[in-house]
Structures are given as C-alpha cells and as structure tokens.
C-alpha cells in the first residue's frame, strides 16, 4: 500500500496539503475507533443484562443491545472502508 498522496506529484502538493491529507486519514481512523468503542459499550451492556438479570423482558433487552452492537460495528466498518476508498488508500 502506497502513501495516501502517492497519486500526486511532489510539485502538486505543498507541506500544508500533505498535512491536510494526513489529518483527514487520522480523522477517519478516529471515527472508526469511535464506532468500535460504541459497539463495545452496547455489547458489554447487553451481555451484562443477559447474564445478571432474570426477567425475560430484561434478557430480551440485552439481546437487543447485542444486536445493536453488531449493527453499529458493521456500519462503522462500512463507512471506514468507503472513506478509505475515496481517499485513495
């Protein structure tokens, strides 16, 4: 995998442009980590509800949280890959 600004010649980009590309890549990674953190929080909450509480309604709510965690993670991965393709990585 080449550099993110490999499609440009050295005369096309100034240092400011290269730093802007780097900031954009880092922002994309931070966003992905935010999705991961959110999905993990939903999964842990769901697991705790399933494991520690007896009523069926609470257990169902726990499974809903686990499902939401999977959905959030899938959306995060999809958006990360989509943005990386747009950025030429």
Q: Given a cut of 60, is residue 78 above it in pLDDT? A: yes
Instruction: Give the tens place of pLDDT for each residue, 6-56.
Output: 666 666 778 888 888 889 899 999 999 999 999 999 999 999 999 999 899
pTM: 0.79
- Looking at the domain assignment, is residue 52 inside a domain? yes
- Looking at the domain assignment, is residue 2 inside a domain? no
Instruction: Give the tens place of pLDDT for each residue, 8-19.
Output: 666 677 888 888
**DSSP sequence for the chain:** ---TTTTS-TTT--HHHHHHHHHHHHHHHHHHHHHHHHHHHHHHHHHHHHHH--SHHHHHHHHHHHHHHHHHHHHHHHHHHHHHHHTT-
At 8 the pLDDT is: 63
Give the range of the structural domain holding residue 43, as residue numbers without chain letter. Answer: 15-86
**What is the tally of structural domains in the chain?**
1
């Amino acid at each position: 995998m080449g550099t993110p600004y490999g499609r440009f010649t050295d005369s096309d980009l100034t240092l400011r442009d290269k730093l802007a590309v780097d900031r954009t890549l880092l922002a994309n990674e931070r966003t992905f980590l935010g999705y991961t953190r959110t999905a993990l929080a939903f999964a842990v909450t769901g697991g705790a509800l399933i494991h520690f509480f007896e009523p069926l309604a609470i257990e169902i709510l726990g499974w809903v949280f686990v499902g939401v965690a999977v959905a959030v993670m899938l959306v995060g991965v999809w958006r990360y890959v989509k943005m990386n393709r747009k950025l030429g990585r």
